[in-house]
Structure 1
Amino acid sequence: MNNINLAYSDYGTTSAGEAAFLAVAYLFIFLFSIIGYVIIAFLLMKVFDRAGVQGKWRAWVPVYNAMVFAKLGDVSPWAVLITLVAASIPVLNFIALPAYLVVMIMAAVRVNAKFGRTWPILLLFLLNAIGIWIWLGILGFSSNRWNPAAASPSPWGSSFIADKTFWNGIPAQPAQNVQGQNGGGYGAPVAPPAQGYAPPAAPGTTPPPPAPPAGPQV
């Protein structure tokens, strides 16, 4: 009987220890996730600012910041939203999660090129979270300027995954239809129409005085 009670006592102690360990582990994972997200949002804020995105808050909103990043990379933001929603469905997550990663890699390739960076730098994006931090930090704090015209046309420019949306505060990219800017986005400033002008008079000459108004006829 004493042996049975001892066995139950050991089992209860072990379960309590495992529960405490799991609680600490979950707390650590939660805190690490929060810190990681803050780092990602801060670096995205720097990249967005250099790309001409208005409003620093856009980098701090979950899911929406990924959609803005996709737009800068000439990828439809709705592709990001659809794949993320599908990834939360148990039956579809095995397909949707890899699809989301592919979409984000496609956008990262374009963003990398628009900052004038070569593909070896992009390998950091494929490593892990720390690699993505380093890659975003290079784009956000380096001397390379954002130049959307530096990237060649995307291979998917005529497909359904190409970005054709226009959002206020997010600059339209060259691959988008300029006429769509009336829908709320904005692109390069439009130059005012050219005004005609008379050439200056030659030096040393006086322009003739204006003719007097015609008087009444007698």
Structure 2
Amino acid sequence: MSPYDTDGGAVALLLVFGFIWLLIAVAAYVVSSIFMMKVFDKAGVQGKWRAWVPIYNTMIFAKLGDLNPWWLLIAWVAAGVLAPVGIGGLFGLAAAVYTALAAYRVGLKLQKEPVWVVLYIFLSIVWLGIVAFDRSRWSLAVPPAPWANSFLRDTTTWSGIPAQNSGVGFVGGGYTAAPGYPAQPPAGYQPPPAPGGYPPPAATQPPPYQPPAAPTTPPAAPEPPAAPPTTEPPASPEPPKQP
């Protein structure tokens, strides 16, 4: 056997493994895009095609997680450019942490406990599948993000992607009205009429208490008791004597 035959077999084996990995990567991309499309639909993102565009879909995911998507793109570019220098891996790690933070916020808006982010870190596609097809609904009634006042907060406005404004009016574990929303009706406001066009019946009050009237004539005096008899009762006859 010539060495060329051995090299040809190794090349063929590498091609087979490469083709298998390509199929796995394509399948994983298709499945994750379907899952992300469902998550975007819950969040009110317009256009299902956005979930199928690489890089762009993850940037939208970061935006839904209250993070500025441009910092994620910068981290990816820096990881690719600085890879030959040896520090590109640090930027790649920063991008991974960035997406984990976004998953933490997206999970909160889908009524998931914070510990669910651990599942995203180790099995992100499983996490996506669960939040995509469970019965959870998108909600903005969540506490503000820890980075709400830092440079990481999302300040972008993209067409077709609803603004989050997470944590507006959140005070002490409750959710209050957003600033500018009138808590009381304006002056002169008249409530709408009752159904059917009939006004509601007026509240009735019981009549005031009236004491009973005093009698005008005094009651008649009671009759005196009957007088006892004046004659003694007759004596009983004596029994006859025996002879």
> TM-score when scaled to structure 2?
0.67
2:103 counterpart of 1:108? yes
Q: Report the Cα distance in structure 2 between the residues aligned to 1:24 and 1:157, rounded to whole angstroms.
A: 49
1:173 corresponds to which letter in structure 2? Q
Question: How do 1:42-61 residues align onto structure 2 when only pairs under 5 Å count?
Answer: 42-61=34-53
Q: Report the Cα distance in structure 1 between the residues aligned to 2:166 and 2:145, rounded to whole angstroms.
A: 8
Native 8 Å contact 1:163 1:176 kept in 2: no
Q: Structure 1, residues 27-81: CA drift from partner, whole Å, max 9, x if none?
A: 1111111111011111000000001111101100000000000000000000111
2:65 counterpart of 1:69? no
Native 8 Å contact 2:66 2:102 kept in 1: yes
Aligned pairs, how many? Answer: 179
User: How far does residue 176 in structure 1 lie from its aligned partner after superposition?
Assistant: 9.0
Q: Report the Cα distance in structure 2 between the residues aligned to 1:175 and 1:121, rounded to whole angstroms.
A: 19
Q: Report the Cα distance in structure 2 between the residues aligned to 1:19 and 1:154, rounded to whole angstroms.
A: 51
User: How far does residue 122 in structure 1 lie from its aligned partner after superposition?
Assistant: 2.3
Change (3 A) 1:176 1:79: farther
Native 8 Å contact 1:72 1:173 kept in 2: yes
Native 8 Å contact 1:164 1:176 kept in 2: no
Q: Which residue does 1:27 correspond to in 2?
A: 19
User: How far does residue 16 in structure 1 lie from its aligned partner after superposition?
Assistant: 0.7
Native 8 Å contact 1:116 1:145 kept in 2: yes
2:128 counterpart of 1:136? yes
> TM-score when scaled to structure 1?
0.74
Which of the numbers 121, 131, 155 marks the counterpart of 2:116? 121
SS at match of 2:130: helix
Question: How do 1:157-172 residues align onto structure 2 when only pairs under 5 Å count?
Answer: 157-172=148-163
1:168 corresponds to which letter in structure 2? S
Change (3 A) 1:144 1:175: closer
Q: Report the Cα distance in structure 2 between the residues aligned to 1:24 and 1:103, rounded to whole angstroms.
A: 35
1:34 corresponds to which letter in structure 2? V
2:79 counterpart of 1:84? no
SS at match of 2:14: helix
Change (3 A) 1:138 1:195: farther
Q: Report the Cα distance in structure 1 between the residues aligned to 2:198 and 2:25, rounded to whole angstroms.
A: 73
> Would you identify which runs of 4 or more consecutive aligned residues in structure 1 move more than 3 Å?
194-203
Runs of 5+ consecutive residues of structure 2 not aligned to the other structure: 169-177, 200-243
User: How far does residue 198 in structure 1 lie from its aligned partner after superposition?
Assistant: 6.0
Change (3 A) 1:159 1:197: closer
Structure (1/2) with the larger helix percentage: 1
Q: Report the Cα distance in structure 2 between the residues aligned to 1:133 and 1:195, rounded to whole angstroms.
A: 54
2:89 counterpart of 1:94? yes
Percent of aligned positions with the same letter in both sequences?
44
SS at match of 1:88: helix
Q: Report the Cα distance in structure 1 between the residues aligned to 2:125 and 2:22, rounded to whole angstroms.
A: 18
Native 8 Å contact 1:114 1:148 kept in 2: yes
Runs of 5+ consecutive residues of structure 1 not aligned to the other structure: 1-5, 178-187, 204-218
Change (3 A) 1:198 1:94: closer
